[in-house]
């Protein structure tokens, strides 16, 4: 009777082992299917290639053979990668590569007692061990950076409104999708701190992405909130913001495109300044399309740049769409852009919807168009419907 009992015990252990394997795989993959893992790997590989390739001059030198050109590019890519490491880690990587490439060593000698001894050095093993050490060091840096970026993301979320305010005569919806953990896009709708009863509508896009752009976005938000307390017209407000931006733009290299508007619910009048931003779309109730172009150059380029304002009256049924270039310039795998034509078509087809529902439809269509292609720029869109 003992043998069947052992067999039954072994039979019970197999499902337990299988369960442990499944739990291990679940922990490694975080529940993602193989197709999702492959798509994620392709996005990561494409993103890494873009990071390194933008620093490599792929121009073929005249008179250079195809093979020589290939090895030249390989060398440039190698130096582009290795220069991202600290000097100590560069040496560690080079030593690891040498150990992996060269064959193992073996010494044989005979002692005085005629005993043959052999000492073998497996260079491949030690090369792999150094590679693992380098990987651990890089992962540690990534973990620290990820933690800091998560804190920065939370701080940035405090700077952006979670819900649209209640503006008489308007229904508002907005959304932003950062290309990285933090973004350089900004949007806000808030009552201007004055007795005028007007509301400010602002959408901005800082040149660049990630942490540098996010830091400048925070300065834009702070300057807008502060300067909006001072009396003056919208053009005066924009001029003051431009002067402040010029002091933080690294001589124009970190400029900001912005659309700033002031809405008066009593007269339904919208006064706006377009500082080099994508021209917002005004879709009238009749179906006609107008673009809000009046303004001037982006903020932070020229300290004494002049700005002009434009005006529109928002009638019930009109739509105002303010967006950043990340929307219309989103690309699919074939490097085709989403484009304004498709964007406006989605606006025409959803004019009977509430702004929140139409915004969801636009984002769904954008995701369908982009597919598995990586997101290269921050996406921000504000929809305003006059009611």
pLDDT tens per residue across all 387 residues of the chain: 445 555 555 545 557 888 888 888 888 888 888 888 888 788 778 777 777 777 778 787 777 888 888 888 888 888 888 888 889 999 999 999 898 888 877 777 676 666 666 677 788 888 899 999 998 988 888 888 778 777 777 777 778 888 889 999 999 999 998 887 777 889 999 998 776 789 999 999 988 777 778 888 888 888 999 999 888 899 999 999 999 888 876 666 789 999 999 999 999 999 999 999 999 999 999 999 999 999 999 999 988 899 999 999 999 999 999 999 999 999 998 889 999 999 999 999 999 999 999 999 999 999 999 987 888 888 999 999 999
**Spatial separation of the C-alpha atoms in residues 271 and 273, rounded to whole Å:** 7
* Residue 1 confidence (pLDDT): 47
Give pLDDT, residue 72. Answer: 85
- What is the DSSP secondary structure assignment for residue 294, as one 8-state letter? -
Structure tokens at 15: 């499902």
Domains of the chain: 67-159 (no CATH), 161-386 (3.60.40.10)
What is the C-alpha separation between 115 and 110, in angstroms, rounded?
5
Q: Give the start-end residues of each E strand in the chain.
A: 105-110, 116-121, 170-177, 185-191, 199-206, 256-264, 269-275, 281-283, 289-291, 295-296, 310-313, 319-323, 379-386
- Report the sign of the C-alpha dihedral through residues 302, 271, 237, 224, in that order: negative
User: Taking a C-beta distance cutoff of 8 angstroms, is the pair 201, 260 a contact?
Assistant: yes
Residue 261 near residue 242, CB atoms below 8 Å: no
Distance CA 93, CA 114 (A): 41
């Amino acid at each position: 009777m003992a043998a069947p009992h052992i067999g039954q015990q072994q039979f019970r252990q197999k499902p337990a082992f299988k369960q442990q394997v499944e739990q291990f795989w679940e922990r490694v993959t975080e529940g993602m299917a193989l197709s999702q893992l492959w798509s994620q790997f392709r996005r990561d590989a494409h993103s890494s290639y873009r990071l390194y390739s933008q620093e490599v001059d792929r121009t073929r030198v005249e008179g250079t053979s195809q093979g020589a050109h290939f090895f030249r590019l390989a060398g440039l890519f190698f130096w582009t990668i290795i220069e991202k490491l600290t000097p100590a880690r560069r040496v560690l990587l080079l030593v690891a590569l040498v150990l992996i490439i060269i064959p193992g060593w073996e010494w044989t000698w005979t002692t005085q007692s005629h005993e043959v001894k052999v000492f073998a050095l497996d260079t491949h093993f030690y090369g792999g061990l150094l590679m693992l050490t380098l990987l651990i060091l890089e992962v540690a840096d990534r973990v620290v950076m990820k933690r800091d970026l998560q804190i920065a993301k939370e701080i940035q979320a405090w700077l952006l409104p979670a819900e649209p305010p209640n503006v008489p005569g308007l229904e508002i919806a907005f959304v932003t999708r950062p290309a990285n953990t933090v973004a350089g896009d900004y949007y806000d709708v808030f009552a201007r701190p004055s007795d005028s009863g007007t509301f400010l509508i602002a959408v901005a896009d800082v040149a660049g992405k990630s942490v540098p752009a996010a830091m400048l976005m925070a300065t834009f938000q702070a300057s807008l909130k502060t300067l909006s307390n001072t009396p003056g017209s919208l053009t005066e407000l924009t001029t003051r913001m431009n002067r402040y931006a010029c002091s933080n733009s690294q001589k124009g290299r970190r400029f900001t495109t912005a659309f700033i508007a002031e809405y008066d619910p009593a007269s339904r009048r919208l006064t706006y300044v377009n500082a080099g931003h994508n021209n917002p779309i005004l879709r009238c109730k009749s179906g006609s399309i107008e673009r809000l172009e009046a303004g001037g150059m982006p903020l932070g380029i020229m300290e004494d740049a002049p700005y002009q304002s434009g005006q529109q009256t928002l009638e019930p049924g009109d739509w105002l769409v303010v967006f950043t270039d990340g929307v219309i310039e989103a690309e699919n795998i074939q490097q085709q852009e989403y484009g304004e034509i498709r964007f406006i078509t989605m606006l025409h087809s959803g004019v009977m919807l509430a702004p929140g529902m139409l915004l969801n439809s636009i984002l769904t269509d954008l995701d369908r168009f982009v597919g598995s292609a990586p997101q290269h720029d921050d996406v921000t869109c504000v929809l305003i419907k006059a009611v």
